[in-house]
Every structure is written in C-alpha cells, then in structure tokens.
C-alpha cells in the first residue's frame, strides 16, 4: 500500500511547479509518468477536509426542488411518466436489452458555488418481470451488500410504512488512488399510481464521510465536514409494468465539492464519467437481482435462502 505524507505548503508549491511545466507542454508530449505523479500529489490535496458552505447547500436545495417538480409533472400526466417514452426509439432500445445512461439535459456536472451537482438518468427493461418482483428487490435492503457489491457494504431498514421508508447505507467507491466512503441515512417516499406504475423519491438526511477507511483508526467525520466527495444525494426511481415486463428508470443526483480551477483539466474527465458508470452498474446489478426464473437462477435462490423451487 502506498502511503503519502503531505506537507501542505511544500506540496502546494510542488503541485504548482509541476502543473506549470505540464500545461506549457502540448498535450501530445505530456508523459504518463508526469501525469501519474501529479495525480498522486493531487489526491491528498483534494482530500483535505472542507466545510459545506451555505451558498452551496442553497443551490442544491433549489436543484432538488426543480427535480421534484419534474417528477410531479410526470406523475400527473402532464408529460410522459417514463423518460424512455419521450422519444420512440428509447423504449425500443431498452426492450431490445440495452441499458441506457446519460446526463440529464445532456450536461453534467453542473457548477454551483463551491460545488458540483451530478445528475444522471438511466433506463432498462426487465422482460417477464412483474412490478412487485422489482419492488421486492429494491426493498430487500438486507441483501444490498450482495446485489450491489462492492459499492454497498451495509444497508439496514430503520423505519417502514406503506408510503415511507428510512434506511441507512454504508458505501465505498474507489477511483484510481482515491477511495471515498460514506454512511448515509435516507428518507424514501413511495407513491403507487394504479396497478402498473410506482415511483419513489430518496433524499439523504445524513451524509458522513468515513476517515481512514479500512484502517484501525477508521471513524466518521462530522456531518458537512470532510473531503466532500459526496455532500448530498437525491434519487428518483420509476417503474412501469407493460409490454410483458417492467421498465425501470433511475435518476441519481449528487452534490460534491468543487474542483480547484487549476486542476480541472485533470480531474473533470473523472467527475464527468464516474457517476454515469456507477448508475450503469446499479441498473445492471438490479436487473441481475430481478431475474424472475427462480429455478435456474442459483444466485437468487442462494440469497433468499431457498432451494429455488
């Protein structure tokens, strides 16, 4: 394991010097070793604890409010309930087995004061499934650690009523030499629209970063204090049973710290791709867990503790 000891003043000057040398070179002659050195030095600099600022939170609240209003329009029938019904070929593609993922409005992340909002939407189709089959998987928090391994390490249901759930999650995600780990409490509002449609809104009410993840000194940082990989989360899930299966859509919205201007050329490609890749993996893993052929799916049978019959 590589351990990096950081002296803030020294490393700021080192980063500035190396960055200056790199940006003065044409892109084609930047070497891989130089980029690797810069990334190794940059990780501790960006991992320093910061505070979530009121102006960042205000921008987040406004963004989430707009997302909720969009969902209200879908639920009321003012616009199509499912995103894939907005363009004819989207529904055809998911019925053919494709898993679609893309940034909402074609652009993500969105820059807000001292932060970034990542907003991605995805869709898939699960043939032969029923609405209750899919809901059974999404509500099976005890097995999230199996369905969504290795990202979800633990999930536990805290409260449940017919239209409300509260859950706690412990998650970790590694990208290059950075591992971000958090614990969250999420409030989930559930709405059933007749026999064949359902949607839910999941809002984080507590997000705490885990410091020294995986070490004996591992501990939770205070709320709204930490590296800022994830400050807040909000997600929308939509399900519709038709065409001899279930359409599943997920929109995942996250708030993270901003990236210093000098380093955006290096870090921004990662911030642009990682949320979409995570959503794609979540959809595929959900589809795997929703396999309805219980007899010939030993993974599902094993997780359920049954014999598949």
Q: Specify whether the CB–CB gap between 243 and 85 falls below 8 A.
A: no
Handedness of CA 249, 193, 80, 129 (dihedral sign): positive
Q: Specify whether the CB–CB gap between 252 and 68 falls below 8 A.
A: no
Phi/psi of residue 193, nearest 5 degrees? -115, 85
Q: In the prediction, which pLDDT does 291 show?
A: 76
The total of other beta-carbon atoms located within 10 Å of residue 230's CB is 22
Higher per-residue confidence, 39 vs 178 = 178
Q: Specify whether the CB–CB gap between 170 and 183 falls below 8 A.
A: yes
Q: In the prediction, which pLDDT does 106 show?
A: 83
Report which of 146, 152, 212 is spatially closest to residue 186, judged by C-alpha positions: 152
Q: In the prediction, which pLDDT does 11 show?
A: 42
How far is 271 from 282, CA to CA, in rounded Å?
A: 17
Q: In the prediction, which pLDDT does 170 show?
A: 95
How far is 226 from 229, CA to CA, in rounded Å?
A: 8
Q: In the prediction, which pLDDT does 6 show?
A: 36
Q: In the prediction, which pLDDT does 277 show?
A: 87
The verdict on domain 49-304 having CATH code 3.30.530.20 is yes
- pLDDT surpasses 90 at 112: yes
pLDDT tens digits for range 52-99:
999 999 999 999 999 999 999 999 999 999 999 998 899 999 999 999
- Confidence bin at 50 (pLDDT 50/70/90): confident
**Lowest-pLDDT choice from 107-111, 129-133, 149-153:** 107-111
- pLDDT surpasses 80 at 174: no
Burial of 9 (0-12, 13-18, 19+ CB in 10 A): exposed
- pLDDT surpasses 50 at 18: no
How far is 60 from 222, CA to CA, in rounded Å?
A: 20
How far is 82 from 242, CA to CA, in rounded Å?
A: 12
- pLDDT surpasses 70 at 17: no
Q: In the prediction, which pLDDT does 7 show?
A: 37
pLDDT tens digits for range 183-200:
999 999 999 999 999 999
């Amino acid at each position: 394991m590589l351990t990096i000891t950081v002296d803030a003043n020294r490393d700021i000057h080192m980063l500035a010097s190396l960055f200056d040398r790199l940006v003065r070179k044409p892109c084609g002659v930047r070497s891989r070793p130089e980029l690797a050195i810069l990334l190794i030095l940059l990780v501790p600099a960006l991992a320093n604890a910061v505070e979530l600022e009121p102006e960042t939170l205000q921008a987040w609240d406004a963004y989430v409010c707009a997302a909720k209003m969009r969902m209200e329009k879908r639920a009321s029938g003012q616009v199509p309930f499912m995103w894939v019904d907005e363009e004819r070929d989207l529904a055809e593609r998911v019925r053919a087995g494709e898993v679609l993922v893309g940034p909402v409005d074609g652009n993500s992340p969105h820059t807000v004061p001292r932060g970034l909002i990542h907003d991605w939407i995805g869709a898939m189709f699960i043939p032969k499934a029923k609405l209750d089959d899919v809901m059974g998987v999404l509500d099976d928090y005890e097995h999230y650690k199996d369905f969504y391994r290795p990202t979800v390490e633990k999930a536990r249901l805290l409260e449940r009523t017919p239209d409300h759930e509260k859950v706690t999650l412990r998650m970790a995600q590694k990208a290059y030499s950075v591992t971000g780990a958090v614990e969250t409490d999420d409030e989930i509002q559930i709405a059933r629209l007749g026999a064949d449609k359902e949607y839910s809104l999941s809002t984080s009410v507590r997000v705490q970063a885990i410091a020294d993840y995986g070490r004996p000194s591992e501990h939770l940082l205070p709320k709204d204090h930490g590296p800022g990989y994830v400050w807040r989360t909000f997600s929308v899930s939509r399900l519709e049973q038709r065409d001899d299966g279930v359409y599943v859509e997920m929109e995942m919205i996250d708030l993270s710290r901003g990236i210093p201007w000098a380093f955006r050329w290096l870090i921004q490609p990662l911030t642009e791709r990682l949320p979409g890749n995570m959503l794609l993996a979540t959809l595929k893993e959900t589809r795997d867990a929703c396999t309805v052929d219980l007899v010939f799916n030993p993974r599902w049978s094993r997780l359920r503790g049954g014999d598949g019959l």
